[in-house]
């Protein structure tokens, strides 16, 4: 992937990894479309992007609003934007046991993390094919590769993304479509603060492990490097990423370790 002079659409751009990736890409003199529910955060980001010499278009977007996803995409395309990459970071996590999590929480998490990402990809895909190709990046998670306590719906939504985007690639690689699944471990973002507790309230605090993770800025550098190489999976984190090898090569050890996680 050559970034310079191309247009990239980033969701979840007002904070965390989405924001940091937008700023990292701005160094390549690109055109960015940035989306999030937080308009003020987007406007602040836009000013920083312009200071780096890239151009930006602000498009507030709620990933649970499917009609808005399609109408916003159509507006962008009608305005003549040529989207070379769609990089999706919007998401919501949880902090609750399976036995205590109401189904409405499972549905809410799936709506944001899976159906929202799928809807936007479906809206953009025909445009990319028509324009000779493009790159999709979807944010999975370390627990998108294996189950984990207190993350049942979150983990499920991230597993589902792998199935969808790998299928999308298999069907559309001949049209010069590529995908990168972003697999962050512990990154210092607000995702744990806004995670859903069993009663649907916000968790309100950063997990200790996450607080000791890599910065969003370092994560962005790893992500952009992986996107440039068009890696199918981009691992983003520290020593916790070793769990991917444990799960693959020592599954019995993984099952034992997973049972030792302390209650939230």
Confidence band of 181 (pLDDT split at 50, 70, 90) = very high
Query: Above 60 in pLDDT, residue 101?
Result: yes
Does any domain span residue 28? Answer: yes
- Contacts of residue 48, Cβ cutoff 8 Å, sequence gap at least 6: 23, 26
Annotated active-site residue in 150, 154, 175, 255: 154
Does any domain span residue 263? Answer: no
Confidence band of 263 (pLDDT split at 50, 70, 90) = low
Residue 261 confidence (pLDDT): 83
Does any domain span residue 128? Answer: yes
Taking residues 33-45, what's their average pLDDT?
98
CATH code where residue 147 lies: 3.40.50.720
Does any domain span residue 187? Answer: yes
- Is residue 154 flagged as an active site residue? yes
Instruction: Give strand ranges (E) for the chain.
Output: 7-11, 31-35, 55-58, 83-88, 134-139, 177-184, 187-188, 214-215, 233-236
The residue range of the domain holding 227 is 7-258
Query: Above 90 in pLDDT, residue 209?
Result: no
Does any domain span residue 201? Answer: yes
Does any domain span residue 230? Answer: yes
- The alpha helices in 52-181, defined as continuous H runs, are 66-78, 103-110, 117-130, 152-172
Does any domain span residue 130? Answer: yes
Question: What is the pTM (predicted TM-score) of this model?
Answer: 0.96
Average pLDDT of the chain to the nearest whole number: 97
Does any domain span residue 1? Answer: no
Residue 264 confidence (pLDDT): 55
Query: What total of structural domains would you count in the chain?
Result: 1
C-alpha separations of 26 from 7, 157, 216 in Å: 11, 30, 15
């Amino acid at each position: 992937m050559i970034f310079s002079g191309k247009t990239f659409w980033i969701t979840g751009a007002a904070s965390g990894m989405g924001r940091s990736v937008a700023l990292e890409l701005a160094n390549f003199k690109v055109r960015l479309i940035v989306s999030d529910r937080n308009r003020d955060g987007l406007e602040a980001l836009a000013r920083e992007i312009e200071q780096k010499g890239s151009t930006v278009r602000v498009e507030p977007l709620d990933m649970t609003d499917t009609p808005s996803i399609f109408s916003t995409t159509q507006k962008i395309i009608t305005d003549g934007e040529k989207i070379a990459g769609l990089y999706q970071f919007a998401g919501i996590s949880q902090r609750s046991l399976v036995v205590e999590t109401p189904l409405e929480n499972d549905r809410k998490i799936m709506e944001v993390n899976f159906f929202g990402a799928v809807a936007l990809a479906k809206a953009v895909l025909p445009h990319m094919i028509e324009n000779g190709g493009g790159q999709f990046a979807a944010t999975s998670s370390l627990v998108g590769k294996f189950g984990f306590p207190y993350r049942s719906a979150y983990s499920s939504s991230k597993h589902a993304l792998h199935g969808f985007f790998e299928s999308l690639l298999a069907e559309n690689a001949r049209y010069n479509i590529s995908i990168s699944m972003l697999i962050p471990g512990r990154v210092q973002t607000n995702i744990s603060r806004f995670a859903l507790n069993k009663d649907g309230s916000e968790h309100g605090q950063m997990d200790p492990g996450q607080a000791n993770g890599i910065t969003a800025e370092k994560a962005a550098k790893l992500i952009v490097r992986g996107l440039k190489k068009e890696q199918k999976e981009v691992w983003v984190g520290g020593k916790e990423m070793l769990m991917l090898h444990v799960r693959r090569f020592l599954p019995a050890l993984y099952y034992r370790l997973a049972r030792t996680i302390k209650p939230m």
